[in-house]
Amino acid sequence: MQVPEQFRYTESHEWCQVNGNTVRVGITEFAQSQLADLTFVDLPESGASFEAGDEAAVLESVKAAADVYAPVAGKVTALNEALEDSPELINSDPFGEGWLFELEMADASELDKLLDAAAYTAHMPQD
pLDDT digits (tens, 9 = 90+) for 38-63: 999 999 999 999 999 999 999 999 88
CATH number of the domain that 92 lies in? 2.40.50.100
pTM of the full predicted structure?
Answer: 0.95
Q: For 1-127, where are the alpha helices, taking DSSP H only? A: 29-35, 82-85, 89-92, 117-123
- CA dist 117 and 74 (Å) reads 22
What pLDDT does 34 receive? 92
Query: Which residues of the chain have a pLDDT value below 70?
Result: 127
The count of domains in the chain is 1
Residue 127's pLDDT is 60
**Is 64 inside any structural domain?**
yes
Within 10 angstroms of residue 30's Cβ, the number of other Cβ atoms is 18
**Type of residue numbered 46:** S
Answer whether residue 78 is part of any domain: yes
Q: What is the pLDDT of residue 71?
A: 97
Q: What percent of the chain has pLDDT over 70?
A: 99
Does residue 116 fall inside a structural domain?
no
| Residue 18 lies inside a defined structural domain of this protein | yes
Residue 125: predicted pLDDT: 81
- Domain span including residue 23: 8-108
Residue 70 inside a domain? The answer is: yes
pLDDT at 124: 85
